[in-house]
Structures are given as structure tokens and as C-alpha cells.
A = this chain, B = another copy of it.
């Protein structure tokens, strides 16, 4: 399912640059329906410039005189709110907001409403919203830039839309298969043999060193190619040691 039914509504924005930055943030997260309620300056070069290559979102933005008109066709309206408003309202965090908005967007239009840069939405505007959402920012410095707030909520929508498609395996896109346990075990044997030939590992010394090296390589989970490289290094090392030994033997 897409985010086509999600509408970002900006009320009475002062700085056109913020409108452009919002368009870019939306497009980055696959949200494209932008409504502007009485923007102070729009269209404006600063908006176009800050939109970077998201001018398509700006170009298709609709301008309304009132918030009521901008949300008229929406089945769910969620307003962004600071904490501690006088009249409490059902309040979501951005993650639960995204779940609710995305869940309902399969059935009807959902508006996310953002207020003015300096003082947000009025109480009257907040009362037009079914739910409120609050970004749990630093209590001593809680006011996000407008486009940043849009970015955070659109990012959460995108994460919700991608739920189940994102891999939780950090090695998902690895280009080589992991080395098998057997290949790793053979490497460790080869390593021990080489370190013994090097005189680095004494046969009579405690096994602590090999235990640590085994832990290191097991944890690192080398892939097949990496184990081949590591074994190549050991073979080259052994060759040098043996050549050196031959040379020394010849001299004596």
C-alpha cells in the first residue's frame, strides 16, 4: 500500500524556504499530497530552491484559505501539538501516529496538520483534529523546525509502510556467502600451524592465545572470500618461513 492518501497540511507558514524543505522531506519519504493554508509567501523562489528536486510536490501543492477547506475530504485529521495544552486531547507519539494514519489511509484521506513556525496551531485549529501528535523532544528545547517535524512524521510513515520489508539482518546485502564452520575451523588449524612455525606460538605455552584468536574470527564471521584471503596470507607466510629455513640450513 502506498502513502498516496496521506496529506501534509501547513497552516499559515511564514518562510517560503520551509515550504520547499517540507516538499523535499515529503518526497524523500514517498509522500506527495501537500496542502497550504494561507501561506505568507507562495509561490516563491526560496521555496523552489529549498525543494531541491522535489519541485513536482511544490507544483502540485494546493492552496486553501482555511484549514476547514484543506481537510474537508479527510476521514482522519491529526494535528501536531506541543505538550501541555489547556484542553487535553487524545495524544499520540509519532510512531503510533504513523500506525494509525497508515492503517486508515487504505480507506480514506488522512491529514497531518502542522502550524506556524513561531506558535503552531491555535486551539481552534487543534479542535478540528480528531487526534493530536507530539514529537517527544527535549523538554527544555522542544520546538523543531517545521520541515524537521514533517520529516520525522513522514519518516515514521515510511517505516510503517516498509514494515516487514526492511531486513533486520545487517548482512542482508552481503555479496559473498559466509564461510562455513568447517572452513573457519580449518583456517584456525592452519593459523595455529603457521604461528607455531613462526615461533610466535610455543607448543608448551598455554592455549589462551589460540582461544582468543578463535573468538576473534568466529565473532567477525568472515565470508568465504575473506577466509580464502586469510589462508592465502598463511600460505605465503609459511612459504617465507620455509625458504628462510632452507637458506639457513644451506648456509650451515
Contacts and interface: CB of A to CB of B under 8 A. Distances in A.
Chain A, interface SS category: loop
Contact of A28 (B54, B90, B148, B158): B148
A249 interface: no
Contact of A136 (B27, B151, B166, B168): B166
A34 interface: no
A138 interface: yes
A141 interface: yes
A213 B175 CA distance: 61
Interface residues of A, number: 45
Nearest to A166: B93
Interface string A69-111: 0000000000000010000101111111000000000000000
A63 interface: no
Interface in A123-175: 131, 135-138, 141-145, 147-148, 151-152, 155, 158-159, 162, 166, 168, 170-175
A151 B155 CA distance: 10
Given A25-B148, A145-B21, A147-B148, A172 B138 contact: no
Contacts of A159: 93-95, 136
A53 interface: yes
A7 interface: no
A28 to B, nearest CB: 5
B170 A131 contact: yes
Contacts of A168: 93, 96
Given A137-B158, A152-B151, A91 B24 contact: no
Interface string A1-15: 000000000000000
A172 B96 CA distance: 14
A188 interface: no
A96 B28 contact: no
23 contacts: A21-B145, A24-B148, A25-B145, A25-B148, A27-B138, A28-B137, A28-B143, A29-B138, A88-B173, A88-B174, A88-B175, A90-B170, A91-B173, A92-B170, A93-B166, A93-B168, A95-B159, A96-B170, A136-B159, A148-B148, A148-B151, A151-B151, A155-B155
Closest 7 CB pairs of A and B: A90-B170, A28-B137, A30-B138, A148-B151, A27-B141, A88-B174, A152-B155
